[in-house]
Chain A
């Protein structure tokens, strides 16, 4: 796995990928295993219904809040916050580390002395990031699919796949933003910090927009809105929302590649 920058970048994350997979699968198993108890407790929906709107806005994923259906349960327990948070941690760390990590460790000088263009190096590293995220998505989908069958959850495999795909695309978009900030500045911590702040802001704008009218116009700018709005666990993949996220990611990545090709490295 040392044949190219792409392959080496994947090799570098193979251990962390194994741990992430294990953690994700374990977490999904835990959440899914509790589902039968929740399903058989119809009072829970009434309890949730009585929550203040502010709280409901934060635990809803896409459509209506409904803990007793499989889609509603998985949406609120996994896809509304925890799973995207975990995927963003993985993608932002990877995206920022692709260039800035090597630059801070000092190995970038040697790498760029090889007969490769900067653009090529950046694109191969971004490609590796996307493959890693897709791999984590596959692990997540498998864990959900197996869990759903074992615990009798009424949710279609293709709806699970839709939610996972849009999740991976969201994570890749934030990974690309982190990559761009890191590629432009060479500073890992700055790239991670700013991207996390942007992600939190997007999450808050989307969640609070249903409560604060002033935020409504900005809601469609929030990647998180496009991630959740189409209710993929019930409705499947929405091409436009997914496309929006893909465009954000691709635009960010292109800017990053260009800025990286232009600047001085390691000074």
Chain B
């Protein structure tokens, strides 16, 4: 594996009133897109704010580029671009002024890639930020996070508030960044958003990591969905006990099943009935995740 850009080691954050994160250990390798998934409130933003040294861990440690963020925070953050989940900007500035301010804080003389990015995202740079829509504000945040070509981009829910066309541009930007060998850490509560851009995903629930895996191997674990229309409904339990097959619902003559592995046992079983149509959907990671979410916490 390539060099680790992010390394979290037994990271825990306790809060008096609410749950933080518990014993997180993971690494993000140079050049990969790491999708950080979980339902709202699971601890995604807490993890990211720990990475940024905005909050301090109760125990454990974090390294960015091999630097301990508690001790070498400014140096580590110099190579990082951050888009907060709850983005707040300086309302009295224009986007151009806002970008210029952050460029100065980063020691840049111009706006770097800022103007080019703004153009691609169709962001007007000279209207006051207080007059901008949520989507346009999000664009300011994105340009701010990427204008200095950071070696690591940390995006907390980057496409929230963006229309689908702009979301697509964001996915392109992520792909381009990794094509340059840069690393992207992206959190989301929507799997579909991450499964097309991430190489690996981590799933966090109730502050604990449930799984960290390649998107490809997850896909192989995924079940495909099969919808079968019968001439008349087969008896209840007709598909019980078939290897890799599970009935997930029926509606009159239509039975919905999930299929894992070989389709042969199912096809053989269907042959006993009069089948009008078979509709099969590509394996969807969503199912894998929903299943993980439904399981009791901690069970693997």
Contacts and interface: CB of A to CB of B under 8 A. Distances in A.
A265 B75 CA distance: 19
Interface residues of B, number: 32
A262 B55 CA distance: 9
Given A113-B82, A115-B77, A5 B55 contact: no
B100 interface: yes
A8 interface: yes
A114 B102 contact: yes
A267 B77 contact: no
B102 A264 contact: no
Contact of A110 (B89, B92, B104, B107): B89
A117 interface: yes
Interface in B19-63: 49, 52-56
B88 A116 contact: no
A112 B88 contact: no
Given A113-B80, A266-B54, A3 B88 contact: no
A106 interface: yes
B144 A110 contact: yes
Contacts of B181: none
B105 interface: yes
A216 interface: no
Contacts of B288: none
Given A265-B55, A267-B15, A109 B74 contact: no
A116 B74 contact: yes
A110 B82 contact: yes
B116 interface: no
B54 A264 contact: yes
A115 B74 contact: yes
- Residue among A5, A107, A115, A267 with the highest chain B CB neighbour number at 10 A: A115
B104 A3 contact: yes
B78 interface: yes
Question: How large, as a class, is the contact surface on chain A?
Answer: 20 to 34
B106 A115 contact: yes
B102 A107 contact: no
Contacts of B107: 115
Nearest to A12: B92
A264 B75 contact: no
A105 B273 CA distance: 65
B231 to A, nearest CB: 61
B273 to A, nearest CB: 58
A114 B77 contact: yes
Nearest to A107: B88
21 contacts: A2-B97, A2-B104, A4-B104, A5-B105, A106-B86, A107-B89, A109-B49, A109-B52, A109-B86, A110-B84, A110-B87, A110-B89, A110-B144, A112-B52, A113-B80, A114-B77, A114-B105, A115-B75, A115-B78, A264-B55, A266-B49
Given A2-B101, A110-B87, A116-B105, 14 more contacts: A4-B105, A8-B101, A105-B88, A109-B49, A110-B144, A111-B105, A113-B82, A114-B102, A114-B106, A115-B74, A117-B74, A264-B55, A264-B56, A265-B54
Interface of B: 15, 49, 52-56, 73-75, 77-78, 80, 82, 84, 86-90, 92-93, 97, 100-102, 104-107, 141, 144
